[in-house]
């Protein structure tokens, strides 16, 4: 590992203040691999040199934070949450009179999760209207999400072929999602430590594979904000390795098939 402790500490502190994401020692490889392309394109000899050069240049800080907070993403990631969404969550909300659903895809990255939800609704619940707000910290991913254009490699990752032919069109080397799907999703820049984005209260929130990066106090803070943005009887989806248990007891865990979902507890009376 060529990265110096000084470089790592600076980057970790920068990322922590900008995004609340905790980069522990031992994540040097992550910093190195994510920043190497930036260093190369800036003509720096290595990541240390690149970081030394950009420390004083505040305009570069965003790019570094962005490079480190952009998550891996795919269509229907982990599958189970989307199965449960279709089999249980949306039918339940619909039965309770929610014909128009407000949905928040938090830390949405390049939009695959938000569009996966939109496709499930379009294909299975034609009479349900949906407004999906997709938020992320990074401008680059939001822009890509809005464009709805994905490379062949990105399309390969988890998108069922029948959905590909139904909802996408080939545009040169990439595939573009239909304008109908794009009209269901609004992309907005948002930090999870700020007030929840306008568009709520939300019936469904996807906050997947985000909390794992935070310390307990920050997890609690984020969950509290999310709870404040939920409609009564709403559903929260977390990543498979994440839970509210032991962090924020105002959520009730429900086991649905192979997936857990969380719902805000009703306030106890008296």
C-alpha 111/C-alpha 120 separation (Å) is 14
C-alpha 221/C-alpha 20 separation (Å) is 11
List the Cα angle 28/31/32 in 5-degree steps.
85
Task: Give 100 or 152: the residue with its C-beta nearer to another protein.
Answer: 152
User: Shortest gap between Cβ of 167 and another protein (angstroms)?
Assistant: 11
Task: Give 158 or 239: the residue with its C-beta nearer to another protein.
Answer: 158
Residue 158 binds another protein (CB under 8 A)? yes
3-state SS class at 16: helix
Per-residue contact string for residues 161-190; x = within reach of another protein by CB under 8 A: xx-xx--xxx--------------------
User: Shortest gap between Cβ of 154 and another protein (angstroms)?
Assistant: 10
Under 8 Å between Cβ of 132 and 118 = yes
Stretch near another protein under the rule CB under 8 A, chosen from 29-37, 75-83, 113-121, 196-204: 75-83
Among 57, 153, 246, 268, binds another protein (CB under 8 A): 153
Residue 147 has which token pair?
A: 């464009």
157-161: Cβ within 8 A, 24+ apart? 157/74, 157/75, 157/112, 158/74, 158/75, 158/76, 158/77, 158/79, 158/112, 159/75, 159/76, 160/75, 160/76
Residue 217 binds another protein (CB under 8 A)? no
Residue 152 binds another protein (CB under 8 A)? yes
Stretch near another protein under the rule CB under 8 A, chosen from 1-9, 13-21, 77-85, 137-145: 77-85
Contacts of residue 219, defined as CB under 8 A and 6 or more positions apart, other chains included, come to 211, 247, 248
Contacts of residue 215, defined as CB under 8 A and 6 or more positions apart, other chains included, come to 22
Task: Give 66 or 154: the residue with its C-beta nearer to another protein.
Answer: 154
User: Shortest gap between Cβ of 238 and another protein (angstroms)?
Assistant: 16
C-alpha 61/C-alpha 233 separation (Å) is 40
User: Shortest gap between Cβ of 165 and another protein (angstroms)?
Assistant: 5
Residue 241 binds another protein (CB under 8 A)? no
Site residues (vs another protein, CB under 8 A): 74, 76, 78-80, 152-153, 155-158, 160-162, 164-165, 168-170, 258
């Amino acid at each position: 590992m060529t990265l110096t402790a000084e470089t790592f500490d600076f980057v970790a502190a920068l990322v922590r203040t900008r995004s609340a994401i905790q980069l522990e020692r031992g994540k040097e490889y992550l910093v190195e691999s994510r920043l190497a392309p930036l260093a190369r394109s800036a003509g720096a000899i290595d990541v240390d040199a690149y970081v030394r050069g950009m420390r004083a240049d505040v305009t570069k800080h965003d790019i570094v934070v962005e490079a480190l907070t952009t998550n891996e993403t795919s269509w229907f990631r982990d599958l189970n949450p989307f199965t449960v969404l279709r089999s249980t969550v949306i039918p339940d909300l619909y039965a309770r009179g929610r014909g128009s659903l407000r949905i928040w895809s938090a830390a949405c990255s390049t939009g695959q999760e938000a569009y996966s939800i939109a496709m499930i609704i379009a294909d299975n619940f034609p009479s349900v209207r949906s407004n999906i707000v997709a938020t992320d910290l990074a401008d680059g991913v939001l822009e890509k999400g809005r464009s709805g254009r994905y490379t062949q490699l990105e399309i390969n990752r988890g998108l069922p072929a029948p959905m590909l032919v139904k909802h996408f069109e080939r545009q040169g080397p990439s595939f573009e999602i239909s304008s109908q799907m794009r009209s269901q999703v609004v992309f907005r820049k948002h930090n999870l430590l700020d007030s929840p984005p306008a568009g709520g209260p939300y019936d469904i929130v996807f906050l997947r594979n985000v909390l794992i990066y935070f310390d307990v106090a920050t997890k609690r803070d984020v969950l509290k904000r999310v709870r404040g943005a939920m409609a009564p009887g709403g559903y929260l989806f977390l990543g498979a390795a994440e839970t509210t248990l032991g962090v924020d007891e105002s959520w009730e865990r429900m086991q649905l098939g192979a997936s857990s979902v969380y719902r805000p507890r009703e306030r106890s009376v008296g």
